Amino acid sequence: MDRQKLRRLADRLPFSGALLGLGTYLVDERLLGHQRGGLAAVGVVFFLALVTSWVLRRVSGMTWREALWPRREPPPWTQLPPSMASVNELARAGLRIQAIKMYRELTGMELKASVEAVDAMIAQRTLHEPAPRIDPHR
C-alpha cells in the first residue's frame, strides 16, 4: 500500500471505529438485550481506532507531530496573489465568497458594494468562455 492510501485510511479509521462500536452497542444491548459493558466498549473501540490511526500515520512516513496533529493543505484560493485578476478568476470559477473576500481586502469597500461588484464580474462572463479550473476540495 502506498503512503497516501495509508494516510487516507488513518484519517477514516477513528470515525469508522466509533461507528462500529456504537453499532455493536445498539445491536447487543438495545435489540438483543445482552449486558456486556455498554458504552465503555464503544470508548475502548474508539481509543484502539485512534491508536491504530496514529500507528498507520507513522508507518506512512509522517513525523511524530504530524501523526498526532495532521495538517491540512491550505485551500488553493489562498495561494492566489491578491489582485483583481485573481478576483476575476475566483468569480469565474464559481468561488463567489472567496472572490468577495479578496475584493474587499484589495479595495476596502463595504460588503454590499463588494457583493455587487463581484456579481457584476460574474454577469459579464460570456457563455463561450471556459471557466478556469480551481478545485476547492484539493
Tens of pLDDT, residues 71-114: 677 777 677 788 888 888 888 888 899 899 999 988 888 999 99
Contacts (Cβ under 8 Å, ≥6 apart) of 70: 7, 11, 57, 62
- With 0-12 / 13-18 / 19 or more C-beta atoms within 10 angstroms meaning exposed / middle / buried, residue 109 is middle
The three cell numbers locating residue 107:
479595495
| pLDDT at site 113 | 92
Backbone dihedral angles phi then psi of residue 107, each to the nearest 5 degrees: -100, -25
| pLDDT at site 56 | 79
pTM score, two decimals? 0.43
The three cell numbers locating residue 74:
491550505
- 115 pLDDT band, cuts 50/70/90, is very high
The residue ranking higher by pLDDT, 117 or 8, is 117
